Amino acid sequence: MKIFQIITRADTVGGAQKHVLDISKELKNDGHQVTVVSGSSRVFKMIVQQEHIDYIGIDCLKREFSFFYDLKTIFYLFKLFFINRPDIVALHSIKAGLLGRIAGFFSTSTIYFTAHGWSHIRDSSGCKQKFYIKLEKYLSLLCSKVICVSQADLDFANKVIGITKNRLCLIENGVHSISSNTHFQHHSKDLISLLSIVRFQAPKDFETLLLGLVTIKNKPWILNILGDGPDMNIVKQRIHELGLIEKINILGFKRNVDDYYQEADAVLLISKSEGLPMSLLEAMSCSKLLIASDVGGISDLIIPDWNGFLIPSGDSEYLSLCLTKLIDSPVLFQEYGMNSKKHFDENYSFEKMYQKLVQLYIEK
């Protein structure tokens, strides 16, 4: 099959970009003709081409709303579909999903849109939220299926947005297991190593994270944060204001994060909105205890008091309590870590996700 994987952003490699890259690599290995399409050609282009996957960059495909650039992108995509005639067009992220469905409606391709969390609806309110809900409901009629990456996202799409069940499909995110020689080991009895892999931008909730940490800053822990983004300097300033400079290391974007997972005792993700986060799945694959906000599909990944802690959105006090319990009970690292790996192997392997996706493509 000839397959286009289209995503908006190319200036970063977050969870959605990893998702597209992993799927594209496997499809290519299985003999399919795969092309990745994204906005302004930057770091993502380089990574895709290193895997010898065809790549097309669209400079006018931008995250921000622009009538001129958006209309230009629709015509560009329409022309792209008409000339190449892909069998499958898989759309990822809000803007690519919007413009791609409009352009794809006039093509002969089968169109799928993967919703990675509905953050544009969850994080808005009032008239803006109502507009997004109506827009997504109507756009669902322009594609064969709307793929949801968690049960929570599917329920939201059906009950809140009003997308009919026959147009929805649940294919939960999956990742390749990260090999580790340090399973179940707490690396230091003197210092708890925490890890968070994020983009410094909404919907990540750094204020709740930092307020939860500042009340326990005299306890033996350290947090390493991997990632970049426009709010990085703001977060650094807030860390300075709260006196957490000696406790938190911001290490920037890292292409290879396996070693950081292996050295961590627990993985954190504090956010206001998520789909089914790749960073938590990767952490589960190498047997890590999880601490994360109870938003989106995260409750599918974390079973409280079994493999981690679910933090109510915005509740910094409860975050502090959970971290204190963890620091005072190091035996939990091994117990909860083993449970995370078991949960991952049974439900969230890349192979399980990929098989479901290919089956959907075949049934088109």
Residue 153 within a domain? yes
With contact defined as beta carbons under 8 Å apart, do 138 and 281 qualify? Answer: no
Is residue 131 domain-shared with residue 209, that is, in the same domain?
no
- Is the same domain home to 142 and 269? no
Judgement on whether residues 263 and 118 belong to the same structural domain of the protein: no
**Do 202 and 55 reside in the same domain of the chain?**
no
Express each pLDDT in 253-269 by its tens digit. 998 899 999 999 999 99
Candidate from 112-116, 120-124, 334-338 with smallest mean pLDDT? 120-124
Count structural domains, the chain.
Answer: 2
The stretch 322-339 carries a mean pLDDT of 95
Closest CA to 90 of 121, 118, 115, 66: 115
Residues 53 and 120 in one domain: yes
Domain that holds residue 135: 2-174+349-362
**Residue 280 scores a pLDDT above 70:** yes
Same domain flag for 117 and 247 = no
Q: 97: closest CA among 2, 16, 200, 42?
A: 16
In a domain, 353, yes or no: yes
Do 293 and 353 have their domain in common?
Answer: no
pTM for the complete prediction?
A: 0.90
Residue 182 has a pLDDT of 47
Cα 123 off chain centre by: 16
Length, in residues, of the chain = 364
- Any alpha helices (H) in the chain, and if so which ranges? 15-29, 43-50, 67-84, 94-104, 119-122, 126-139, 151-156, 206-214, 232-241, 258-263, 278-285, 298-301, 316-328, 331-347, 350-362
Domain assignment present for 310: yes
The alpha-carbon radius of gyration of the chain (Å, integer) is 21
Q: How far apart, in whole angstroms, are the C-alpha atoms of residue 342 and residue 110? A: 36
Under 8 Å between Cβ of 167 and 140: yes
What single string gives the DSSP state of each residue in 138-187? Answer: HHGGGSSEEEESSHHHHHHIIIII---GGGEEE----BPPPP-S-TT---
Q: Are residues 143 and 211 in the same domain?
A: no
The whole-angstrom separation of Cα 227 and Cα 223 is 13
Q: Tell whether 326 and 356 lie within a shared domain.
A: no
Query: 164 and 312 share a domain?
Result: no
Whether residue 30 is contained in a domain is answered as yes
Strands of the sheet containing 33-38, edge to edge, are 54-57, 33-38, 2-7, 88-92, 110-115, 145-148, 168-170
With bands split at pLDDT 50, 70 and 90, how would you rate the model's confidence at 209?
very high
CB-CB contact of 107 with 133 (8 Å): no
Give the pLDDT confidence of 302-322 residue by residue, as tens digits. 999 999 999 999 999 999 999
User: In terms of domains, do 155 and 233 share one?
Assistant: no
Is 125's pLDDT higher than 60? yes
Any domain includes 243:
yes
pLDDT of residue 190: 78
Residue 185 lies in a domain: no
- Under the banding of pLDDT at 50, 70 and 90, the label for residue 123 is confident
Compute the average pLDDT of residues 118-145.
Answer: 95
Structural domain contains residue 123: yes
34 membership: H or E segment, kind and range: strand 33-38
Summarize pLDDT for 133-191 with one digit per residue, the tens.
999 999 999 999 999 999 999 999 999 999 999 999 999 999 999 875 544 455 555 79
Q: pLDDT value at position 359?
A: 96
CATH code of the domain containing 229: 3.40.50.2000
CA 285 – CA 175 distance, rounded (Å):
8
Positive/negative CA dihedral, 234, 253, 151, 302: negative
- Bridge-based pairing state of the strands 221-226 and 248-252: parallel
167 and 224 in a single domain? The answer is no
For residue 184, being part of any structural domain is answered with no
